[in-house]
Chain A
Amino acid sequence: MRHHISSQHTLEGTLRGSGDLVIAGTVRGDIVLEGSVHVLAGGSVEGDVQCASLIVEGRWSGNAHLSDLFSAHEGATARGTLSTIRIEVMPGAKLQLDVDMREPAAVAATSPPRTSAPAAVAVSPPSAAPVSAPAPASPAPTTATAAPDEEEEAVEDEAAADPGAADEAARDEGPKSSRKARR
């Protein structure tokens, strides 16, 4: 079933149910739908969206939890957080989103709660916001100490292969590398 909100209508409240929803007007509130939500150019949605696919040609802001596809067309404006399986962004779309892309299998197994931290990737941040990756589940203290050793070993290998180059590197890199190279 296809539902349609015309360009001259404003809906304030929640929409729930099944079918595909096409929005040419304004919706302020949450949408929970088994089908797709399509925000046409000129249409506007301010609210959380939980559905299969969200296709934006107009404006959308809020949190979206999708089981299939997020699509932003040219001229679209999207702001908020997004959890989805597939994503497509066309040239000319303006996005300010925290995106969490999940594996389809993970969705089939367990649908994560909407409060789960979605900020894995930032797409087109307005400022130079850092891309924050979630911290590893188990800390690995040996990793931090292992890294410099690997670097030193690399220098050693280089020195073994080409002593001249190693001396050159030693001059450039200071006393620590120099000591290694001489070894």
Chain B
Amino acid sequence: MATSTFGTKPAAAPSAGSTLGPGITVEGEISGTDPLVVQGTVKGQVRVQNAVTVDAGAVVEADVEATELRVLGALAGNCVASERLEVAAAGRLIGNVRAPRIAIAEGAAFKGQIDMDVP
């Protein structure tokens, strides 16, 4: 049961960026300019002009646009990273990717097309 917040100073905003922790499912579109960390489930579309991290344990079924995309969990969808895309050893990525720089760690799972011809 939550305690009353009457008369108390509002809680300070956490550091910049959004975090969708484990236990939450988002269906829809997330857009914006701050970094995004996904630890839960996202279905739909992600369009962020900043870094996006699909953390370990996360499940993302969405097309993702970001400046920098790191995949440590499971991501199914087409990805466009304007700067860099990285799939960590524990990451699983199914979809077509487009990015000027791509790193796929040994042990990672990947299925899709790679396009690094980004101006």
What are the interface flags for A62-88 relative to B under an 8 Å C-beta threshold, 1 for contact and 0 otherwise? 000000110101000000000000101
Question: How many chain A residues touch the partner (CB < 8 A)?
Answer: 40
Whether A22 pairs with B14 at a CB distance below 8 angstroms is yes
Does residue B30 face the partner (Cβ distance < 8 Å to A)? yes
Shortest C-beta distance, A79 to chain B (Å), equals: 20
Give residues 36-53 of B contacting A (CB, 8 Å): 36, 40, 44, 48
The complex places the Cα of A16 from the Cα of B42 at a distance, in Å, of 10
Beta-carbon contact of A73 and B24 below 8 Å: no
| Residue A19 lies at the interface, judged by CB distance under 8 Å to chain B | yes
A55, B4: Cα distance in complex, Å? 9
Contacts of A18 in B (CB 8 A): 23-24
When the two chains form their complex, are residues B1 and A68 in contact, meaning their CB atoms are under 8 A apart? yes
Q: Decide if B18 is an interface residue (CB 8 Å cutoff).
A: yes
* Residue among B7, B27, B48 with the highest chain A CB neighbour number at 10 A: B27
Query: What residue of chain B has the Cβ atom nearest to residue A88's Cβ?
Result: B6
* Complex: A52 Cα to B4 Cα, angstroms: 12
B19 interface neighbour in A3, A10, A13, A38, Cβ under 8 Å: A3
A21 within 8 A of B: yes
A90 to B9, CA, bound (A): 12
The answer to whether B2 touches A13, judged by C-beta atoms less than 8 angstroms apart, is no
- Complex interface: chain B residues within 8 A of A53 (CB): 2
Contact indicator A17/B23 (Cβ below 8 Å): yes
Report A-chain residues with C-beta under 8 Å of the C-beta of B30: 9-11
CB pair B36 A9 closer than 8 Å: yes
Q: Is the CB of B4 within 8 A of A25?
A: no
Is B29 close to A, CB under 8 A?
yes
| Interchain CB contact under 8 A, A11 and B29 | yes
Q: How far is the CB of A30 from chain B (nearest CB, A)?
A: 10
A151 at the interface (CB under 8 A from B): no
Residues of A within 8 A of B (CB): 1-19, 21-22, 24-25, 29, 33, 36, 38, 40-41, 52-53, 55, 57, 68-69, 71, 73, 86, 88, 90
Beyond A1-B21, A9-B48, 16 extra complex contacts between A and B, CB < 8 Å: A2-B21, A3-B24, A6-B13, A6-B32, A8-B34, A9-B30, A9-B31, A12-B31, A19-B21, A52-B2, A69-B1, A69-B2, A71-B4, A73-B10, A88-B4, A88-B5
